Amino acid sequence: MLALNVGGMPRPHRTKSFRTEASVPTSASQGTVVSYILQPATWPRWQSEIVSAEGPDRLDAGDVVDGAARLLGFDVTGRSITKDVSDDLFVEDVIVGVRMHVTYRVDPHGTGSIITHQMVADLPAGVAGSILSLLLRWRLKRMQVRLLDRLASQAGEDSP
C-alpha cells in the first residue's frame, strides 16, 4: 500500500513487525488437532474474534477463506490464504484489519500433542500507529492464549 507525502510522491506504508509465539499441551492426537485447524467451519468455535469463516471443508495450499471478525470493538472482514499444509503444519497469510503470517505446528507428545501458534503481524507505525499498535499487541497476545486453550480443549473432547 502506498501513501502520498506532501510533495505528492508515493512513499511506502510504514509498519512495524510484531512476533509472538506460544504453545499448549492437549490430550488430542496430532491428527485430531490438525483436522480442526484445517476446517474453517470450526474456526469461530475456538477463535473468539472470528464471527464467520467461509471456505473449503478441508484446506490445502492455495485455498482461500473469507469471513468476518470483531477486533478491538470493530467489525472487520478478513481473508486467509493457505500457504502450506502437512500432517503437522498449517501456514496462512491473513488480513483482518492488519496483515499477519500465522503458523500452527502440532507435535506428538505422550498420548496427546503440543500445539504451537506463531504469529507475525505488520502493525502500523508512526505516532498514531504506535498507540494503535500498543493495543493490538496486547490484544493479539491475549487472542493467541485464548485460541490455543480453546483449540486444545475442543480437540481434546473429540479425541478417541
Q: In terms of C-beta distances under 8 Å and separation of at least 24 residues, what long-range contacts does 69-72 make, across chains too?
A: 69/96, 69/97, 71/96, 71/97, 71/139, 72/97, 72/135, 72/136, 72/139
**pLDDT per position as a tens digit, 30-65:** 999 999 999 999 999 999 889 999 999 999 999 999
Which pLDDT belongs to residue 130?
Answer: 67
- Signed CA dihedral, 58, 62, 65, 69: sign only: positive
Closest-CA residue to 24 (of 121, 156, 136): 156
DSSP string, 78-103: EEEEEEEE-SSEEEEEEEESEEEEEE
C-alpha cell at 112: 496427546
Q: Determine the Cα–Cα distance for residues 151 and 147; give it in Å rounded to an integer.
A: 6
Which pLDDT belongs to residue 13?
Answer: 59
CATH number of 16-158: 3.30.530.20
Closest-CA residue to 105 (of 131, 86, 120): 86
Residue 98, C-beta contacts closer than 8 angstroms, at least 6 positions apart: 121, 122, 123, 124, 136
The rounded radius of gyration (Å) of the Cα atoms in the chain is 17
pTM of the model: 0.85
**pLDDT per position as a tens digit, 97-151:** 778 899 999 999 999 999 999 999 887 777 666 667 767 777 788 889 999 999 9
Could you tell me the residue ranges of all domains in the chain?
A: 16-158
